[in-house]
Amino acid sequence: MKLNIAVLPGDGIGPEIIEQALHATEAVSNKFGHELTCNHALVGAVAIDAVGNPYPDATHALCMESDAVLFGAIGSPKYDNDPSAKVRPEQGLLAMRKKLELYANIRPVTVFSSLIDKSPLKPELIGNVDFMCIRELTGGLYFGRPQGRSEDGTTAYDTCVYTVEEIDRIVRLAYEYAIKRRKKVTIVDKANVLCTSRLWRQVAQGIAKEFPQVETEYMFVDNAAMQLIQWPERFDVIVTENMFGDILTDEASVITGSLGMLPSASVGVHTSVFEPIHGSYPQAAGKNIANPLATILSAALMFEYAFGLKTEGALIRKAVDASMDAGVVTEDIARGGKAYTTSDVGKWIVDYILNEK
């Protein structure tokens, strides 16, 4: 099969982790006889520095004509502490989501047995954690207008907007995943306060009727934040709006022991984007110490979701599991023993993929 990938390494540790994910992608492609083409493009702070735009038109054009986008990370301390900066790297990510119409961000949360003791939660609470957060990605407070400041600068406002159509497509997607899993959907909202949340609930109630085989529960976001750490095993598919999903998925990510482990897929109308959920970790940039596994697992999701190549994705996943069992891991998840570099881990995984019968 011809696999045409746009590669957007971005900022901070982005380039080093993407390099390892690409090695794994190449190894799997070679092994299964796929014809892989990778084209690199700029995004984030590096794109602002080079061309003054965090999501340049050339990058968008490449994404549109590719079969999948493999994305590293975005963000730079240079912009974080400057509230007056006119363009910010994060705008590149938001522009990409909007222009590619990636309305769903899918973040599977599973626990790796070798990392259970790294979690801040008690081991007995997390052994069977296996859920999926589906976050709406192109609406809500992130994109609602008006947004801005009053003329005298003393008042600022953001607007939360959702249409029935936007809610319908994301909630439907959640049910479609739930049927293939443990058949439970948790709709997270704040319907006791917010008008948009009441619309979410109304639309969800209609869709729930179409899926009688799926158990539906409605949960306020504050309660969901609590239940996620108190009883994480109870969740199967969680679906929620953009801002709630942003917050809950960061919370969910630490359950598993390391933020460095979780991949994500953003899907919608145009080309899907696969990226680790962690950020650009600027303190570690260029040091060859960052954990590449979330990005390598994002490549696995890419094979499965974008290309429908399940065996290839499963082999990458198996290689990642094996590297952890063998203790070939970076310092964030090393268990007392030796810590390996980003490139050591990547190389081990490539060897595993190529040698696996």
Q: Tell me which of 93, 171, 273, 329 binds ligand IPM, using CB under 6 A.
A: 93
Read off the DSSP letter of residue 263: E
Nearest residue (CB) to Mg ion, 168 versus 246: 246
| Dihedral Cα 233, 237, 243, 246, nearest 10 deg | 60
Active site residue 246: yes
- Identify what 26 binds: ligand IPM, Mg ion, none; CB under 5 to 8 Å per kind: none
133 binds, among ligand IPM, Mg ion, none (CB under 5 to 8 A by kind): none
Token pair belonging to 145: 């207008």
Please identify, among the stretches 69-77, 239-247, 319-327, 340-348, the one whose residues bind Mg ion according to the rule CB under 5 A. Answer: 239-247
- Residue 246 found at the interface with Mg ion (CB under 5 A): yes
Q: Among 49, 90, 217, 251, which residue interacts with ligand IPM (rule: CB under 6 A)?
A: 90
Q: Cα 290–316–332 angle (5° rounding)?
A: 25
Segments in the chain forming alpha helices (H): 14-32, 45-51, 57-65, 77-80, 89-99, 123-126, 164-179, 195-210, 221-230, 242-255, 293-301, 310-325, 342-355
Question: What are 248's two structure tokens?
Answer: 């809950």
**Only segment of 188-196, 214-222, 243-251, 282-290 that touches Mg ion (CB under 5 A):** 243-251
Q: Which residue in the list 103, 190, 332, 352 is annotated as catalytic? A: 190
239 counts as binding ligand IPM under rule CB under 6 A: no
Q: How far is CA 184 from CA 201, 222, 231, 248, in A?
A: 16, 20, 15, 18
Q: Which of 142, 162, 281, 352 is catalytic?
A: 142
55 catalytic per annotation: no
Does position 43 bind ligand IPM by CB under 6 A? Answer: no
- How far apart are CB 249 and ligand IPM at their closest, in Å? 6
End-to-end CA distance of the chain: 21
Tokens 């680790």 belong to which residue?
Answer: 276
Is 190 noted as a catalytic residue in this protein? yes
Kindly tell me which of 74 and 319 has the beta carbon lying closer to ligand IPM: 74
Q: Is 174 exposed, middle or buried (0-12, 13-18, 19+ CB in 10 A)?
A: buried
Q: Whole-number minimum distance, CB 279 to Mg ion, in Å?
A: 8
Nearest residue (CB) to ligand IPM, 190 versus 278: 278
Catalytic residue check, 11: no
Residue nearest to ligand IPM (CB): 90
3-state secondary structure (DSSP) of residue 252: helix
Among the listed residues 168, 250, 305, 321, the single catalytic one is 250
State the Cα–Cα distance between residues 277 and 264, nearest whole angstrom. 6
Is 325 a catalytic site residue?
A: no
185 binds, among ligand IPM, Mg ion, none (CB under 5 to 8 A by kind): none
Q: Give the tokens for residue 243.
A: 């801002």
Closest CA to 242 of 174, 192, 325, 167: 167
Joined together, the tokens standing for residue 184 give 């439970």
Active-site residue, from 57, 82, 222, 351 = 222
**Cβ-based nearer residue to Mg ion, 277 or 329:** 277
Residue 139's binding partner, choosing from Mg ion, ligand IPM, none, with beta-carbon cut-off 5 to 8 A by kind? none
Q: Which residues are catalytic?
A: 142, 190, 222, 246, 250
Site residues, Mg ion (CB under 5 A): 246
Site residues, ligand IPM (CB under 6 A): 74-75, 90, 93, 246
